[in-house]
Chain A
Amino acid sequence: MSTLNVSNISDGTTTVGTSYVVNGSAKAWVNFNGTGTIATRDSFNVASLTDNGTGNYTVNFSNAFGTGDYSFLVSCKQNATSTGPFISTETFSTTSANIRTRNVNQTDVDCEIVSASNLGDLA
């Protein structure tokens, strides 16, 4: 793989520093089925998922993050019977992040599709 060492990228009109591009890129992301036998649909920098129970998933990274202070963005497509869902993340570590999906009554519910992405500094 060849490397392009440049400080800025320009389209002729607008110029942006490559540090914005590097720092603004998701360092890990995943899209997976949260119902049935959970399965990854597509991903990057993810080694595995852990299905911890109803509406409770953990994303395990291949390349760890430098600290647990990254930004973890999650969204999900609700299944037909759930009200909500509401998403929370309970534990962040450099190697994994936990996702909980709940309905309006604060009961854990599975989501049809869950997607998550991480922005931050890698180890």
Chain B
Amino acid sequence: MTQHLWERLLEAKSRLEPVQSKYRVLFEDPATPDEPAKVLVPDPNWMACALEGGILPPIETYQRDRDVPDGEPKEHPYTEPIGAMTEEEAIEYLVMKDIDPAVWRDYKGNRTIMKIVPVEMIPSDRSFRNAWRIMQ
């Protein structure tokens, strides 16, 4: 029987060193064009699990679970985990998991609304944070 995802995460937390990703995902939501660009920050413990393998479920299970109503059984905690990913593959997985498909799959416009960038490219001065846009 496959161990529950939460238990796998618990066990991984006790033995894996966190890994700070060198990437961030910049994106804009086409549904709210007046809002500033958002920045997705991978969690270091999650990244350690992704690089280790044998902990996280296939991304397809999260995608199928999007359509499952609240309170109904979800697939992703009980599915056999996948193997190790590279950091680049892990970022792509995270994009598909934590960013709305309207951004990474369905958008057909001409603007660039998503970019994977090195962390050094994210400004650390947040004085004008709400004016951030993705440079075209």
Known: A60-B98, A68-B70. A48 touches B5 (CB 8 A): no
Interface pair B129/A53, CB less than 8 Å apart:
yes
Which B residues have a C-beta under 8 Å from some C-beta of A? 3-7, 9-11, 13, 18, 20, 24, 35-36, 38-46, 49, 56, 62, 65, 70-71, 73-74, 76-77, 94, 97-98, 119, 122-124, 126, 129-130, 132
Known pairs A52-B35, A53-B38, A66-B74; list 9 more (Cβ under 8 Å): A1-B3, A1-B11, A44-B13, A47-B94, A48-B42, A50-B39, A52-B38, A60-B97, A122-B6
A45 within 8 A of B: yes
Interface pair A46/B45, CB less than 8 Å apart:
yes
CA–CA, A96 and B102, complex, Å = 17
Interface pair A123/B74, CB less than 8 Å apart:
yes
CA–CA, A45 and B10, complex, Å = 8
Which A residues have a C-beta under 8 Å from some C-beta of B? 1, 27, 30, 35-40, 42-54, 60, 62-64, 66-68, 94-96, 108, 110, 122-123
CA–CA, A44 and B7, complex, Å = 11
* In the complex, chain A residues whose CB is within 8 Å of the CB of B97: 47, 60
Partner of B43, one of A37, A43, A53: A43
Interface pair A63/B77, CB less than 8 Å apart:
yes
CA–CA, A50 and B46, complex, Å = 14
Interface pair A49/B77, CB less than 8 Å apart:
no
CB closest chain-A residue, reference B99: A50
